Amino acid sequence: MAYANLCAIPFGKEQVVIAVSKSQLGGGHLGIGFHSAKNGPQVLHLEWHRKLRAHSIPMDLTTCWIASPLNIPSGASKAIVALARVVATRGPTINYGINFLAARGSFESNGTYKPPKGSDGLTCATFIVELLRAGRVDLVKSADWKAHTANTDWANIVCTSLANTPSVDQAHVDAVRQNINGLRMRPFEVAGAASLDSKRWPAEFDDVQGPAQRVADQLDQVYRTSISVV
């Protein structure tokens, strides 16, 4: 499905949407849209190290987001809405980390964040992947993901940014640096996987590259024309 301006997409209380915005680190930024129990529609995302955010739509949005409903059965959708509500309410402390293989199973089925042994944390993209996994939606085939030299450059930028963040201790920076291996799950790739027919999930790396580029192009188009960007 095509992505469009998040503020212009109506979605029901039992639906979730995959939302994408710009990122200073490149590759986009990922969130999930849902209806909270009291505050209406929100977008939940891991903004940075230990900064889990839930913004009301549209009043709290300070940049352009595009989104598309996740095409899953109503029962699965209800379960993920419930998970998103629990996680948004509890606001768990989530480190920013790049080892998505070690992070598999980070959320329990009741929404508790319990990083596996060896996990250095999550990115905005793997936060969504793991939240969906807890709701039994296995979106991407992460075990066969492909490495790229550009991802090493990105990971080094992440480590530098973490080192320059006052709340991050050196031990965490060192742990993340040890996990630099050229693997990265880009937000656009996850959004591209979400746009595929669910019969193709878990999606493989090669299958999401074309959809990922289309999502990036759609974001550029909406970003240029949106009056919500400030």
* Cα gap 8→1, rounded to integer Å: 15
* Largest distance between two CA atoms of the chain: 45
Share of the chain above pLDDT 90, in %: 93
Q: pTM, whole model, 2 decimals?
A: 0.96
For the chain, what are the domain ranges?
4-225
* Cα gap 74→79, rounded to integer Å: 9
| Helix 124-134 vs helix 187-195: crossing angle, to nearest 10 | 40
Q: Are 30 and 195 in contact (CB under 8 A)?
A: no
pLDDT in the model for residue 226: 59
The 3-class SS string of 47-88 reads EECCEEEEEECCCCCCCCEEEEECCCCHHHHHHHHHHHHHHH
Q: What is the mean pLDDT of the segment spanning 139-144?
A: 96
The pLDDT of residue 228 is above 60: no
Q: Kindly report, residue by residue over 27-61, the tens digit of the pLDDT.
A: 899 999 999 999 999 999 999 999 999 999 999 99
Could you tell me the end-to-end alpha-carbon distance of the chain, in angstroms, rounded to an integer?
27
Angle at the Cα of 23 (from 47 to 1), degrees rounded to 5? 95
Q: Kindly report, residue by residue over 164-222, the tens digit of the pLDDT.
A: 999 999 999 999 999 999 999 999 999 999 999 999 999 999 999 999 999 999 999 99
Provide the CA 158 distance to its chain's centre, in angstroms: 16
Q: What is the mean pLDDT of the segment spanning 112-117?
A: 98
